[in-house]
Amino acid sequence: MRSGPIACLDQRGHGDSDADVTADFSLAACARDVLSLLDTLAWPRAVIVGHSWGAGVALRFAADFPERTSACVLIDGGLWGPRDLGDRAVVRETLRPPTLGLPEEELWSLVRSGDLGPYWSDELQAALQRTFVLDDQGLMRTRIGMDRHMAVLDGLLDADPPRDLALINESETPMWVMSAEPRPVTQDSPWTGARDQAVASIMHRPRVTTLRMVGAIHDVPLQWPDLVAGTLDTVVTTEGAR
């Protein structure tokens, strides 16, 4: 990217964050973390970008702190999520991840066999490396761990996008929505239905730009990093000109 300085924070429980399972993983708390970062950097305003869970945080930040938001960019999330998939208890169990403990080579072989396989590179593996830790048995496990993963999920289940959108409309904060739409489309998928309904609901709203990325997977920043970076450059340039 070419458009000014960039700051990227490790969200609670991720990367080098030391937040334990007792921390507040609500979107409101995570949005306040972003505010603290801007205050520390002495940045009066910024384009706030989030992917997946981060998109929910970005949406909440734009709603709660419009005076600090130049624009809000949601990458495949924020407006839709686990809360749209049905009964909360059922969703929690469905999205509970398996307890991972694999030898390193077996882990990477498993990851390469998934959606990211066609885009695999040493750079991509290096980007994913920090999401895992090597335990004292020589097995790779997720850095976030089961308990913090479920706490993050609960925060997403408590999200309230209509509330956030109403506040963003009041402040007229520009919003860009990037929707990853894999092929082939599963028409009867609850996730697909929630995504399509959410995107359709904002098409008429002022100051909203929607990019429907057909062929993109959920991890589109890893799949097509140049496309995502170029789009963010466009956001900064466009909203700065306004």
CATH number at residue 52: 3.40.50.1820
Cα–Cα distance, 156 to 173 (Å, whole number): 22
DSSP annotation string for 87-109: -HHHHHHHTPPP---B-HHHHHH
Amino acid letter, 166:
A
Token pair for 205: 């709203």
Sheet holding 69-75, edge to edge: 46-51, 69-75, 175-181, 208-214
Q: How far apart are CA 132 and CA 143, in angstroms?
A: 5
Residue 14 has pLDDT above 90, yes or no: no
Q: What is the DSSP letter of 6?
A: -
Q: What is the pLDDT at residue 19? A: 85
- In angstroms, rounded to a whole number, what is the distance separating the alpha carbons of residues 229 and 109? 28
The verdict on residue 69 lying in a domain is: yes
Residue 106 is assigned to a structural domain of this protein: no
DSSP 119: G
Q: How many domains is the chain partitioned into structurally?
A: 1
pLDDT at 3: 61
Average pLDDT over the chain reads 92
Q: Are 159 and 88 in contact (CB under 8 A)?
A: no
Share of the chain above pLDDT 70, in %: 96
Q: Does some domain include residue 133?
A: no
pTM (two decimals):
0.93
pLDDT digits (tens, 9 = 90+) for 159-189: 999 999 999 999 999 999 999 998 876 666 8
* 134 falls within a domain: no
Q: pLDDT class for 190, splitting at 50, 70, 90?
A: confident
Pick from 206, 202, 231: which is nearest to 216 by CA?
A: 231
The amino acid at residue 236 is: V
Is the pLDDT at 101 greater than 80? The verdict is yes
- Cα–Cα distance, 200 to 91 (Å, whole number): 24
Cα gap 113→75, rounded to integer Å: 24
Residue 8: φ, ψ to 5°: -130, 125
Domain limits at 185?
Answer: 27-97+144-241
User: Is residue 215 in some structural domain?
Assistant: yes
Among the ranges 53-62, 128-137, 138-147, which has the highest mean pLDDT value? 53-62
**Residue 11 within any structural domain of the chain:** no
> Is residue 107 situated within a structural domain?
no
